[in-house]
């Protein structure tokens, strides 16, 4: 009996098991529901692997810390430790968002090469990446990509200060931007729920993970893989992307009905740390890979490098690679990440003095990985020419605390700070409650943002209401931030 046949038989036996986790449902993905033969047949030609046995989870509307949440959190952690990856089901609305993003992806990649190639930016790594441009372990990848990093206007202070990797996303048109940003917003909400559940499963204080993602450097790769018979010859036959691990906390991936993703589950005695030594090309020709067949209405989730470091490899970063199939393949990889400024430290209970003892600065790790993958890109060349890498050592680029329940500094939207200060000062001239605010983007001091006495100011990282505290959380846009402040202050005044 072949390895694939054995794997499918095992899946058929496992597929009948179901278990309830409180009020949340967790079902094993059943290959019998999707036709065993079809799943095996979707594997790219020339590849040998075991068909992955994945669990599928339905995320709750909210994570409250209930017994059901705790059970699901433990099940998530167990699945990652055993399989390296899991699946999350999409409801009808989420599936519609995914379908719209997929249609937009196909429309973009169908454009003439010159139109796609014009979508680049010399300051950020957002934009188009041609097949053969990305390098993994010294070999060109065949993936064709549009990358979306944090989309920052040229007037934004961090862009003007020439922070590495900071700049606008060069969207070709609104018809692509709108569905992609909607899709990223949905995945961002899912990412926060997954981190909240992971905190429960890891038995760490609330905020241990989600504090890292305030003003997170979330980004996405929109991917097209050519068929095996229609490549440009720059890479290795049958290889879409070489084996590697990704950089941050969680990778949330989705694919069409053309298979190609392979992951490597945790193996005893197999050690790697991508922040110390590149994991690119790791065990790429080994046959102990698991094939992740396309399953409708789900996305897959696996841990990244920062998650591995802060848990002391309790949740290792999952190595993965992509093989080319006989048809075009379209996929997404969304990365739910810490703030660019975050210095990630080991989680409580997982600190055994792992290296580096001072923690990992996420912005430096991200920058180093992209420099390695795109040595000839205009962004890389400009970064070196202007010595932008030296900025990574500056204190203001490492100002984000990774400790839970520590508000750190106020963050305010760039370009709006004077207007915000004036507006809030006028409001605070009334007999208002203490003001608590957490918004996004440019690091400023309390007095710079608010222009009111510190005795009247409370800083918080979440929405809460006690002691007449007014809180505003995660407001990306300055105008909407002020509208929220006005609404909260007026409500608080009415309560008085």
pLDDT for 491 equals 62
Backbone angles phi, psi at 333, to 5 degrees: -130, 110
Q: Please count the other Cβ atoms lying within 10 Å of the Cβ belonging to residue 170.
A: 17
Indicate the pairing of strand 290-292 with strand 50-51: parallel
Q: What is the mean pLDDT of the chain?
A: 81
Mean per-residue pLDDT, 371-392:
96
Query: At 465, is the pLDDT very low, low, confident or very high (cuts 50, 70, 90)?
Result: very low
CA atoms within 13 A on the CB side of 436: 18
Cis amide leading into 469 (omega within 30): no
Alpha-carbon gap, residue 63 to 181, rounded angstroms: 24
pLDDT for 348 equals 96
Q: Residue 407 has what DSSP assignment?
A: -
Residue 474 gets the label, from left (phi > 0), alpha (psi -120 to 50) or beta, of left
pLDDT for 39 equals 80
User: What is the residue-wise DSSP string for 117-185?
Assistant: HT-B-SSSS-EEE-TTTSEETTEE---EEEEE--B--TTSHHHHTT-TT-B----S-HHHHHHHHHHHH
115-118 long-range Cβ contacts below 8 angstroms, 24+ apart: 115/172, 116/146, 116/172, 118/170, 118/172
Alpha-carbon gap, residue 220 to 148, rounded angstroms: 5
pLDDT of 24 > 90? The answer is: no
pLDDT for 482 equals 52
In the chain, where the domains are located: 89-398, 410-495
Interval 241-262: pLDDT, tens: 999 999 999 999 999 999 999 9
pLDDT for 456 equals 37
Structure tokens at 208: 């241990």
Out of 199-208, 384-393, 405-414, least confident range: 405-414
Residues 468, 485 contacting (CB under 8 angstroms): no
Interval 413-464: pLDDT, tens: 323 333 333 333 333 333 333 333 333 333 223 323 333 333 333 333 333 3
pLDDT of 116 > 60? The answer is: yes
Residues 470, 434 contacting (CB under 8 angstroms): yes
**Taking the alpha carbons of 138, 139, 140, 143 in that order, is the dihedral positive or negative?**
negative
Mean per-residue pLDDT, 78-91:
97
Interval 283-327: pLDDT, tens: 999 989 999 999 999 999 999 999 999 999 999 999 999 999 999
**Taking the alpha carbons of 71, 74, 80, 83 in that order, is the dihedral positive or negative?**
negative
pLDDT for 462 equals 34
Instruction: Look up the CATH number of domain 89-398.
Output: 2.60.120.330
Interval 214-228: pLDDT, tens: 999 999 999 999 999
Q: 42: closest CA among 321, 258, 338, 213?
A: 258
pLDDT for 283 equals 95
pLDDT for 399 equals 83
Compute the 3-state secondary structure of the chain and give helix, strand, coil in percent, each to the nearest 5: 35, 20, 45
pLDDT of 27 > 60? The answer is: no
Query: At 263, is the pLDDT very low, low, confident or very high (cuts 50, 70, 90)?
Result: very high
pLDDT for 23 equals 33
């Amino acid at each position: 009996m072949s390895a694939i046949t054995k794997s499918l038989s095992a899946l058929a036996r496992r597929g009948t098991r179901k278990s309830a986790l409180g009020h949340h449902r967790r079902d094993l993905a059943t290959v019998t529901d999707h036709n065993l033969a079809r799943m095996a047949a979707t594997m790219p030609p020339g590849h040998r692997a075991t068909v992955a046995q994945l669990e599928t989870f339905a995320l709750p509307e909210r994570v409250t810390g209930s017994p059901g949440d705790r059970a699901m959190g433990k099940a998530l952690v167990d699945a990652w430790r055993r399989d390296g990856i899991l699946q999350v089901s999409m409801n009808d609305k989420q599936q519609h968002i995914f379908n719209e993003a997929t249609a937009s992806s196909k429309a973009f990649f169908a454009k003439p090469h010159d139109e796609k190639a014009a979508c680049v930016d010399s300051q950020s790594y957002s934009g188009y990446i041609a097949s053969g441009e990305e390098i993994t372990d010294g070999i060109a990848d065949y993936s064709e990509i549009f990358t979306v990093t944090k989309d920052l206007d040229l007037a934004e202070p961090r862009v003007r200060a020439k922070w590495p990797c900071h700049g606008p996303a060069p969207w070709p048109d609104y018809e692509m931007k709108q569905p992609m940003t909607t899709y990223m917003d949905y995945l961002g909400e899912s990412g926060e729920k997954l981190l909240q559940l992971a905190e429960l499963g890891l038995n760490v204080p609330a905020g241990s993970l989600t504090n890292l993602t305030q003003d997170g450097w979330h980004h996405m790769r929109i991917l097209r893989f050519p068929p095996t018979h229609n490549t440009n010859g720059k890479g290795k036959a049958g290889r879409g992307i070489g084996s590697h691990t990704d950089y941050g906390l969680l990778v949330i991936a989705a694919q069409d009905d053309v298979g190609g993703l392979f992951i490597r589950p945790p193996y005893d005695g197999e050690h790697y740390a991508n922040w110390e030594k590149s994991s690119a090309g790791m065990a790429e020709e080994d046959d102990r890979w698991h094939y992740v067949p396309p399953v409708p209405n789900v996305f897959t989730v696996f841990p990244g490098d920062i998650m591995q470091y802060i848990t002391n490899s309790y949740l290792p970063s999952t190595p993965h690679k992509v093989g080319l199939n006989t048809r075009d393949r379209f996929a997404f990889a969304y990365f739910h990440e810490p703030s660019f400024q975050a210095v990630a430290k080991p989680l409580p209970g997982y600190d055994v003095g792992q290296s580096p003892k001072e923690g990992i600065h996420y912005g430096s790790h991200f920058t180093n990985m992209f420099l390695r993958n795109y040595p000839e890109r205009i962004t890389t060349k400009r970064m070196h020419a202007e010595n932008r890498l030296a900025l990574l050592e500056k204190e203001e680029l490492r100002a984000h605390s990774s400790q839970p329940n520590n508000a750190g500094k106020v963050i305010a939207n760039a370009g709006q700070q004077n207007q915000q200060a004036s507006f809030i000062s006028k409001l605070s001239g009334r007999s208002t409650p203490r003001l608590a605010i957490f918004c996004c983007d440019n690091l400023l001091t309390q007095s710079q943002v608010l222009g009111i006495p510190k005795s009247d100011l409370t800083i918080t990282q979440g929405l809460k209401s006690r002691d007449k505290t007014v809180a505003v959380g995660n407001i990306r846009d300055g105008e909407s931030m002020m509208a929220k402040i006005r609404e909260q202050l007026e409500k608080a005044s009415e309560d008085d």
